[in-house]
Amino acid sequence: MTSPWLVSFDLDGTLVDSQLDFQAIRQALGFPDRIGLLEHMTTLPPREAQQAAAVIHQYEMAGAAQACWMPGAQQLVSALQQQAHPIVILTRNTREAATLSLSRLGLSADLMLTREDCAPKPDPEGLHRIAQHFEHPVNQLVYVGDFIYDLETAHNAGAIACLYRYGKNHQFSHLADWVIDQLPDLLHKMEA
């Protein structure tokens, strides 16, 4: 690597557009707003939680089946690979859905952690495991994402929180250490 930074990415809404409609999932399940789907599932009796997990997985698989690159993501990943940076992903998705998304893009990750591998974001476990796997200081790990859970995860781990800002996520800008409006702009941040 030519820079001191190790970069890890969120998947949906950051590298991949899977057009997941979280509001539609909430409505289908009767889940309340303002609490994560996975977090709300932990409040349910086991049978209901299992049924909800199956519905969420169906939505995730449908999204993964139509996944396409987010604007600039393919260019950024290609540039990182050319510079010998590993491609690292931490997602709240299931491994099956995340693997399908990557397959659709023709992308392989050097390391991918899903909700089956570690506690889901915003728990910092995933980023700590990534730093440990690469024997890299966590304070030089940049986590790039588009949602508040991504930023909280980075802060909880002691990593750099990078917001890929677009659409309706501008409200999270003040929580980020780095903000990029185009994914390839990450390369400039890494060089600064």
Contact of 158 with 164, CB cutoff 8 Å: no
The span from the CA of 12 to the CA of 20, in Å, is 8
CATH of 6-17+68-191, one of 3.55.40.20, 3.40.50.1000, 3.40.50.620, 3.30.450.20: 3.40.50.1000
How high is the pLDDT of residue 110?
97
Per-residue pLDDT tens digits for 69-125:
999 999 999 999 999 999 999 999 999 999 999 999 999 999 999 999 999 999 999
Q: Where are the domains of the chain?
A: 6-17+68-191, 22-65
Burial environment of residue 113 by CB neighbours within 10 A (0 to 12, 13 to 18, 19 or more)? buried
pLDDT tens string 138-158: 999 999 999 999 999 999 999
CA 141 to CA 130: how far, in whole Å? 9
pLDDT of 1 over the 50 cut = no
pLDDT in tens, 22-50: 889 999 999 998 889 999 999 999 999 99
Query: Is-above-0.95 flag for pTM?
Result: no
